[in-house]
Amino acid sequence: MTVTTPHSGASRRNLPHAPFLQAIRGEQPSRRPVWFMRQAGRSLPEYRALRANVAMLDSCFQPELAAEITLQPVRRHDVDAAIFFSDIVVPLKAAGIPIDIVPGRGPVVDMPVADRAAIDALPSLAPEQLAPIHEAVRLTLDGLTDTQVLIGFAGAPFTVASYLIEGGPTKTHQRTKALMHGDPESWHSLMRTLTDYIITFLKVQINAGVDAIQLFDSWAGFLPDRDYRTFVAPYSQEIFAAVAAAAPGLPRIHFGVTTGELLGSMALTGPDVMGVDWRVDMAAAAQRINAALGEEVHSSLRQAAGTDSVGADGSASDAALLGSSAHQPGDIVLQGNLDPALLAAGPTIIDREINHLVRTTDELIATGQIRGHIVNLGHGVLPDTRAEDITRAVATIHSV
């Protein structure tokens, strides 16, 4: 096998005909692009067979296995993007922090990192410690055509921090918020360390050749907007800036669950594509994001007058607070937002949902409110979703 190092800096693929990238560039895609969060793993019998005797985090460090699992849903469902098979806690594991993923539960840390001493004792992470990740990305790219993209990813510092501080999944984020508000200095120190890990993790994937990246701040929706901006947004912004510096033009996606109230602030951290969960209608999502990006939404369908009320809702100060995004109103691409539960509700219902979604986003594109749309779920595929239902939904999306 070819020996590669995380520094070998493979050049990026040039993919003029990939529908996923066409949509992001604001071109008419050759077909409607779709992929699903959590498409790799869980719902696929061929995944369960491969993983039968390998622990989740061990599988992430086996390049052939990780590449094969990444490719399985692309082969089976004919989706337009592969999401790299890994996990948001992989950089922690690579740095040597004792962490495990418990089936049906999620990431678990034996010794939670919840005070200054533990935060100061966190190790550093060098790209060489992620060599298997580099290799897995290279192997995956070998298995994709030039119309299929590979999305690399990382968890955002807040979401990763919540597992470290709580010691496992939480429904309240109580300890995380206690540290954030009770000892802000330690909080910022932890965010600093995690931001460095995450940038290293993303750069390894970028150097290995991924075609786009997604930053998952899955649990950011637990925070009010004010706390999000003070304690979280600056770090996500730094990560997006580091990606832009490492790979100019590489598409950057941002996503979190229950982030209806945060969509504007999240968009200001600098992504090109905003993932939207199923609770928010896409038209409302576009409006909130465009308001935050500095102007009212241009829409000939809405009010006939009142086009110069910029800043009335505080959007101008949003931009000042967070620094400017590269994007103007109308420039953002949306990703989402079918309800994952409805994927299993039968063909009539999911087809109706798909039709509503694409009618809404086609209209938003036609009226200049968004640049493009990538179909996805509002969160991940639920584990008991039947593979056949996913394949069928993809075919419907490609046909409407």
Provide the binding-site residues for ligand CP3, judged by CB under 6 A: 37-42, 51, 56, 83, 85-88, 101, 103-107, 153, 155, 159, 216, 218, 380
Instruction: Identify which of residues 140 and 207 has a Cβ nearer to ligand CP3 in the complex.
Output: 140
- The residue number with the shortest CB distance to ligand CP3 is 41
Return the H-helix or E-strand segment holding 151: strand 149-155
Q: d(Cα 190, Cα 138) in Å, to the nearest integer?
A: 31
| Least gap, CB of 132 to ligand CP3 (angstroms) | 15
Q: Which two tokens stand for residue 63?
A: 């390049």
| Least gap, CB of 109 to ligand CP3 (angstroms) | 12
Instruction: Identify which of residues 136 and 180 has a Cβ nearer to ligand CP3 in the complex.
Output: 136
| Least gap, CB of 73 to ligand CP3 (angstroms) | 7
| Least gap, CB of 305 to ligand CP3 (angstroms) | 42
Instruction: Identify which of residues 42 and 188 has a Cβ nearer to ligand CP3 in the complex.
Output: 42
Which of helix, strand or coil describes residue 348?
helix
| Least gap, CB of 356 to ligand CP3 (angstroms) | 24
Q: d(Cα 136, Cα 12) in Å, to the nearest integer?
A: 16
Contact 19, 80 (CB under 8 A): yes
Between strands 273-276 and 99-102, the pairing is unpaired
Instruction: Identify which of residues 35 and 231 has a Cβ nearer to ligand CP3 in the complex.
Output: 35
Instruction: Identify which of residues 205 and 287 has a Cβ nearer to ligand CP3 in the complex.
Output: 205
| Least gap, CB of 323 to ligand CP3 (angstroms) | 25
Distance from the first to the final alpha carbon of the chain:
43
Which of helix, strand or coil describes residue 93?
helix
Instruction: Identify which of residues 19 and 155 has a Cβ nearer to ligand CP3 in the complex.
Output: 155
Sheet (strand 212-216) strand order: 81-83, 149-155, 212-216, 252-255, 273-276, 333-338, 372-377
